[in-house]
Amino acid sequence: MRILVTGGAGFIGSNFIRHMLSARQDCRILNLDALTYAGNLENLSDVSQDPRYEFVRGDIADPEDVGRCFSGSLDAVINFAAESHVDRSIEDSAAFIRTNVTGVQVLLEAARKQGVKRFVQVSTDEVYGSLGPQGRFRETTALAPNSPYAASKAAADLLVRSYHITHQMDVVTTRCSNNYGPYQFPEKLIPLMILNAVESRPLPVYGDGLYTRDWIHVEDHCRALELVLEKGRAGAVYNIGGDREEQNLQVVRRILQAVGRSEELIQYVQDRPGHDRRYAIDASLIRSELSWRPRVPFEEGLQQTVRWYQSHSQWVQGVRSGDYVNYYRRMYEKRGETLSALKKPATAQGTAGQGSRQG
């Protein structure tokens, strides 16, 4: 089986490549990634010498780059490549439209022309918008994206659908809830809070902190994607979720406990505009059709993830070089975080329990 994985140097894509190479001897992978701020070849350093794995740097929105990857025969394309962070899409949505919409159109055209057997689009539960206190997203829930990121992903889902209806292409779309685990870029809630807690810096909680997400370990997501790739029904959409709803404050408290820091480090900051209140996934379709279920209990997965970040300080240093410090200051100073001590991490003893006074 020869697969083109796009966006394989990011968080979920790199976990997926590692998963497939270890689960499937017959698998050969070509990874096309533009290496944006979120793409990092260090995420794949352990498999880079595997003869079944090959990396090509390129942009999914550039037909020439994509064309180069479609020259040999391909059994499937699985598209992870995306601009993936909601807060960045609120600042500037241009890159989101280029990669998440145009990029998907370019990939679909190439796959159609080359007669690729299967196209898997890795989408998100954010396309459904926000839930009230009750109910869960089903595959039939109307699309109602609220952020530019979610809107760009919903646009891609509709393009994928149209290639199935119009061109009879074999496509499958997955919509997963919030992932956590190793190699996640520390702009997302869990890794950002772990690193801030470890360094006794403030943990910036948006709004009242009572927003709910449905957490899934990245390894459970990767197992679901392997099944979808092989056995998913052409034209289907599958929701994927960990069946584990937690309010952000609960997650942050668990992290503080795991790291051994005081809750006084929690700092409430300005809310995200258009912030979706609650996500919850009904994954009964993939459970019944493909016999998938999540295996990693949240408490265990979170502990493992905390330990992973604590023991990978070089990786952390690498991803925080470059523009990360500027991003952090820009994003959190405007929200009213009073401590932006990224360049000057406090000692664990110095500020634990004092909150936020470094200026």
- Active site residue ranges: 125-126, 149
Judged by CB under 6 A, the residue of 31, 179, 239, 351 near ligand NAD is 179
CB atoms within 10 A of CB 92: 10
Q: Is 84 in the site for ligand DAU (CB under 6 A)?
A: yes
- Our CB check for ligand DAU shows the closer of 59 and 83 to be 83
Quote the tokens at residue 123: 């989408």
State yes or no: residue 146 binds ligand DAU (CB under 6 A): no
Q: Which is nearer to ligand DAU, 279 or 292 (CB)?
A: 279
Sign (positive/negative) of CA torsion 95, 97, 102, 108? positive
Partners of 77 in the β-ladder = 4, 119
The listed partner (ligand NAD, ligand DAU, none) that binds 33, CB under 5 to 8 Å by sort, is ligand NAD
Cα separation, 209 vs 263, in Å, equals 13
Q: Is 188 in the site for ligand DAU (CB under 6 A)?
A: yes
Residue type, 192: L
Tell me how far apart the alpha carbons of residues 140 and 121 are, in angstroms, rounded to a whole number.
17
Length of the chain: 359
CA distance 288 to 71: 37
Residue 108 binds ligand DAU, judged by CB under 6 A: no
Choose among ligand DAU, ligand NAD, none what residue 86 binds, the Cβ cut-off being 5 to 8 Å by kind: ligand DAU
In the complex with ligand DAU, the residue whose CB is nearer, 110 or 281, is 281
Q: Cβ neighbours of residue 165 under 8 Å, at least 6 residues apart?
A: none
For 46, 176, 179, 302, the CA distances from 43, given in Å and listed in that order, are: 8, 21, 16, 19
Q: Which is nearer to ligand DAU, 28 or 175 (CB)?
A: 175
Closer Cβ to ligand NAD, 66 or 256, answer by number: 66
Token reading at 186: 């520390």
Out of 183, 185, 279, 309, the residue judged to bind ligand DAU by CB under 6 A? 279
Task: Return the residue nearest ligand DAU (CB atom).
Answer: 124
From the list ligand DAU, ligand NAD, none, pick the one residue 192 interacts with, judged by a Cβ distance below 5 to 8 Å according to partner type: ligand DAU
User: In the complex, which residues of this chain contact ligand DAU (CB under 6 A)?
Assistant: 84-86, 124-126, 177-178, 188-189, 192, 204-206, 211, 213, 248, 272, 279
